[in-house]
Amino acid sequence: MTGSEKKTNYRWIICAMLFLATTINYMDRQVLSLTYPGEGGIQQEFGWTDANYGTITAWFSIFYAIFMLFAGKFIDWMGTKKGYMWAIFVWSTGAILHAFCGIATSSIVTGSGLVGFETALEALRSFKASGAADAGLVISTVSMYLFLGARAILALGEAGNFPAAIKVTAEYFPKKDRAFSTAIFNSGASVGALIAPFTIPVLAKYFGWEMAFIVIGALGYIWMGFWLFLYKKPRENRKVNAAELAYIESDADEAAPAADAKEEKSISFFKCFTFRQTWAFIVGKFMTDGVWWFFLFWTPAYLKSQFNINPTDTEGMVLIFVLYLITMISILGGKLPTVFINKGMNAYAGRMKAMLIFAFFPLLGLLAQPLGNAFGTPWFPVILIGILGAAHQSWSANIFSTVGDMFPKSTIATITGIGGMAGGMASFLINKSAGALFTYAEGQGAAFRFMGFEGKPAGYMIIFCICSVAYLVGWCIMKVLVPKYKAVEA
């Protein structure tokens, strides 16, 4: 190697693979929310209420939370290459299984057996029209539990995505670049949500909601083929030259070969909970992850309920597209701490300062429902929710990077999984509560009031208030737990 050797940029190809995996991850996750409301949607076919839908989204979150607790340790044990492949295989299979819930419901309820998608739905419609006792309740209940089973498998696989991606980022990027690279792959969540309204409703409209699950789910299998041939650890990868490897390992505490993950001592699972740094990450994820998941799962239903706009309508697709287009601003959020770090701050202090700035933007969410109601347009809520989403994704990129700042590489996936578990628990609470609240508020009508709103709109206003202040509360608790940077030693 000569001093003038130009470094390769293979790390960005790896980052692109992480981006694509996260995009697929969020498309798979969003198929249900975009096929739930509207004519010919899952809600109509199975007679679900908001409480049913809230139960499914909430339990998906709790499954995800439980599996996240162990997914990180699994990735640390299995390694990023094999662990990531297993994760995406399982979640793609789980996504596809949703398509067969109608056939399974029909077989259980009507005894139709193994038939086609449309034949199964026709059998359920006939059973409901027959006047059989509690026919609608039986169909909605059986189908809900079958979807829960498919969601559990989806959650099992998806739980591995972020622990694996954060571990790969720590392997391929120095600390100063990790927030930016994390912001890039994490923007896959926004891109997946961006693409979804223009693909999933179209697939559902012309080929049935079942094909939407199958086609989007199959994308994961394609990704696996590329990952198999593209990924190796930097020191083992011939496409990473000496200059790029030196840059990747440029952090002072990682310069020595002894820092290699194979030789690095790992921290036991239970010992992780003895560190204040772990609890800071847990609190940060618990206070904020549920906000993103609420808007991911409920925005199409919100537009339908409050403005009578279906996700399959042109206006509905444009609104959701614009919302997630706004969230793409979050890529810049990964660059902000680099500005502070270049001015002399340590990585943790720079990220915390950036996260405080991001924590103020969700307060705009307090205006979403009032402005939408005052002007009778969905555009104000959509734009403000988009800004909130951009702030969340910027926050998320930086809070993930704090794990790499404070913990050894051998434990990064484990800590990420623990934090993801906390975020999943929060998502369970907010989605389950929201579904029950919306059903109750709608039933109470004008008797249910909050801040000038009545009935279901009052329920949405309550949830919007909680989402808007969550980030500032989370940041303050994190700062109390870890006021200054302190690395954890294995």
Residue 259 has pLDDT above 70, yes or no: no
What mean pLDDT is predicted for residues 54-81? 85
The pLDDT value recorded for residue 380 is 95
Beta bridge partners of 453: 450
The pLDDT value recorded for residue 262 is 46
The pLDDT value recorded for residue 264 is 58
Token pair, residue 202, equals 């179209």
Residue 261 has pLDDT above 70, yes or no: no
Give the phi and the psi of residue 454 in degrees, each rounded to 5: -125, 150
pLDDT (tens digit per residue) in 419-449:
988 998 898 899 889 988 998 999 999 999 9
Beta bridge partners of 450: 453
- Of residues 343 and 278, more confidently modeled: 278
What mean pLDDT is predicted for residues 52-58? 85
Residues above pLDDT 90, as percent of the chain: 46
In angstroms, what CA-CA distances link 387 with 87, 180, 324, 421? 31, 19, 9, 25
Nearest to 325 by CA among 398, 401, 393, 396: 393
What's this model's pTM, rounded to 2 decimal places? Answer: 0.73
State the number of CA atoms in the 13 A half-sphere of 437 facing the CB: 18
Token pair, residue 75, equals 């990735």
The pLDDT value recorded for residue 471 is 97
What mean pLDDT is predicted for residues 250-278? 69
pLDDT band at 3 (very low <50, low <70, confident <90, very high): low
CATH code, residues 10-481: 1.20.1250.20
| Mean model confidence pLDDT for the chain | 88
pLDDT (tens digit per residue) in 266-316:
788 889 999 999 999 999 999 999 998 898 888 888 998 899 988 778 888
pLDDT (tens digit per residue) in 76-127:
888 889 999 999 999 999 999 999 999 999 999 988 888 888 898 898 888 8
Give the phi and the psi of residue 450 in degrees, each rounded to 5: -160, 120
Residues above pLDDT 70, as percent of the chain: 96
The pLDDT value recorded for residue 170 is 87
The pLDDT value recorded for residue 279 is 96
The pLDDT value recorded for residue 239 is 92
The pLDDT value recorded for residue 1 is 46
Report d(CA 364, CA 376) in Å as an integer.
18
Token pair, residue 24, equals 């697929």
- Residue ranges of domains in the chain: 10-481
- Per DSSP, 99 falls in state G
pLDDT band at 252 (very low <50, low <70, confident <90, very high): low
pLDDT (tens digit per residue) in 126-136:
888 877 778 88
- Of residues 450 and 489, more confidently modeled: 450
Weakest mean pLDDT among 65-79, 155-169, 427-441 = 65-79
| 8 Å CB contact between 69 and 246 | no
Report d(CA 164, CA 112) in Å as an integer.
42
Residue 177 has pLDDT above 50, yes or no: yes
The pLDDT value recorded for residue 377 is 93
Report d(CA 195, CA 51) in Å as an integer.
27
Who's near 52: CB < 8 A, 6+ residues apart? 140, 144, 435
